[in-house]
Amino acid sequence: MTDEIIRGAGTPDAFTLCLNPLSGPDRPWTEAQNAILSDAGLSAARATIGAWPGYAPTPLVALPALAREIGVASLHYKDEGGRFGLGSFKALGGAYAVARLLQSELSRMLGRAVAMDEVIGKAHPDEVSSITVCCATDGNHGRSVAWGAQTFGCSCVIFIHATVSEGRKEAIEAYGAEVRRCAGNYDDSVREAQETATREGWFVVSDTSYPGYMDVPKDVMQGYEVMAAEAFEAIGTRPTHIFLQTGVGGMAAAVTALAVRRWGRERPRIVLCDPDKSACWLVSIRAGEPTAVEGDLDTLMAGLACGEVSSLAWEILRDHADAVMGLTDDSAVAAMRKLARPEGGDPAIVAGESAVAGLAGLIAAMSDEEARSALALDADSRVLLFGTEGDTDRELYEKLVGMTGDAVRGKA
């Protein structure tokens, strides 16, 4: 068997599967990885986020009928659509990183250690109002940063690239942020945000990391681990496989990191899922090093339209992601519709276009004998998925699924 499988080129069901020769259950958890994400960091994130008004674990939904249809023993879907009213898991990362940054800056300004309770309680409004945070976004991360800035009292500027929808732009503006549209793709907007912040004395709160910018993205990823911890505690029996959509890789790395720390050699197989039009993880795993994808990255899965992997995520996923798949936009839309119109008694789920690459990857792999064998998928497999957003672009969701998110929720 080769390390790469390509099926159905040019068709809606096309996929590419590339195995990672560097990964495996025997790969060690290194000190460098523990410096990125750790149990101590997770405890701090859970204590902070758990104290925010409106915090509650999001549901882990069992989908037994869909599991039977696909051909696996069990299928669980962590539904992040209701997280803090923001519609996605990003609420855990960006807002937490804003709080941590404000805690650090206030400690510097006041010449003493400032407690997180002071940040959450807005104990220093004048100092906080002098701080501006910014980031680049495809939509959901910017909404989280804007919400965090509004919640804790600092100013916020969000950079979006050329193809981010007006609906996503307006959703960010609703939290009081100034939104600036840039030419080019997501990676261009990342660079513009950093250049502007350097010039203006602002603070970048990014969910991707790059040389010279590592500390804040660690906090973002540590916030994401809260989602993974909730899922692992709720699922009971250890899953055999976790399929994860990628983007820059911060969420996938956070889930993977906790899986490795929790289960060690018994960890589930980790399968990354890229849009085929922005498959930065596919080309990087194939090359054995971070490799950029050029061009407009014009995938329907807007939250995953990233051409460069996060440096921190690479440190984790190069060792512990077992495979990566490239998937079509059509397969994502089919997965959205399948969740919205379930059969066999499963609950209906509102899943946005960037939430379903993991499910699309599972369906594609189970449809192909060679892919099933390569990933050790069979009728005894227990699969965990992370549904990272709901209908965060409601107009687009209705267009793709053929019914509104509210109508789907009414069926649940």
Beta bridge partners of 179: 158
Residues 78, 90, 169, 277: which is the catalytic one? 90
Residue closest to 194 by CA, chosen among 134, 237, 254: 134
Is 90 catalytic? The answer is: yes
Residue 3 is given by DSSP the state S
Q: Which two tokens stand for residue 393?
A: 């672009």
**Cα distance between residue 56 and residue 209, in whole Å:** 28
Q: Beta strands of 247-345 (E only): which ranges?
A: 269-275, 323-327
**Cα distance between residue 373 and residue 327, in whole Å:** 19
**Cα distance between residue 345 and residue 118, in whole Å:** 47
Report the phi/psi class of residue 139: left, alpha or beta, with left for phi > 0 and alpha for psi in -120 to 50. left
Q: DSSP for 242-306? A: EEEE-TTSHHHHHHHHHHHHHHGGGPPEEEEEEEGGG-HHHHHHHHTS--PPPS----S-GGG--
Per-residue burial over 339-361, b if 16 or more Cβ lie within 10 Å, else e, is bbebeeebbbbbbbbbbbbbbbb
Residue tagged 């921190």 (tokens): 312
Residue 16 and residue 4 in contact, taking contact as beta carbons nearer than 8 Å: yes
Residues 78, 79, 138, 322: which is the catalytic one? 138
Is 274 catalytic? The answer is: no
**Cα distance between residue 134 and residue 4, in whole Å:** 39
Q: Which residues contact 51 (CB under 8 A, 6 or more apart)?
A: 117, 120
Residues in the chain: 412
**Cα distance between residue 210 and residue 219, in whole Å:** 14
Q: Beta strands of 44-100 (E only): which ranges?
A: 60-62, 74-79
Dihedral pair phi/psi, residue 301, rounded to 5°: -80, 75
Q: Which residues are catalytic?
A: 90, 138
